[in-house]
């Protein structure tokens, strides 16, 4: 049971890492779009 739990934890850590990478990419994209819109509105 302990071995199975350890495998599950490793699997979940991999999923978390991939989700954080995607979130970072999406967040960066949104920030760049918002910055561009802000610059156009107030330039």
Distance CA 36, CA 25 (A): 17
Model confidence pTM above 0.75? no
Tell me what pLDDT residue 16 has.
Answer: 82
The token pair at 35 is 């910055």
Tens of pLDDT, residues 1-43: 777 777 777 788 888 888 878 878 778 788 788 888 888 887 6
The CA distance from 31 to 10, in Å, is 31
Indicate the DSSP class of residue 43: -
Residue 42 and residue 39: Cα distance in Å, rounded? 5
How much is the pLDDT for 43? 61
CA distance 11 to 21: 16
């Amino acid at each position: 049971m302990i071995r199975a739990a350890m495998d599950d934890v490793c699997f979940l850590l991999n999923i978390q890492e991939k989700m954080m990478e995607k979130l970072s990419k999406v967040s960066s994209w949104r920030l760049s779009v918002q910055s561009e819109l802000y610059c156009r509105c107030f330039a």
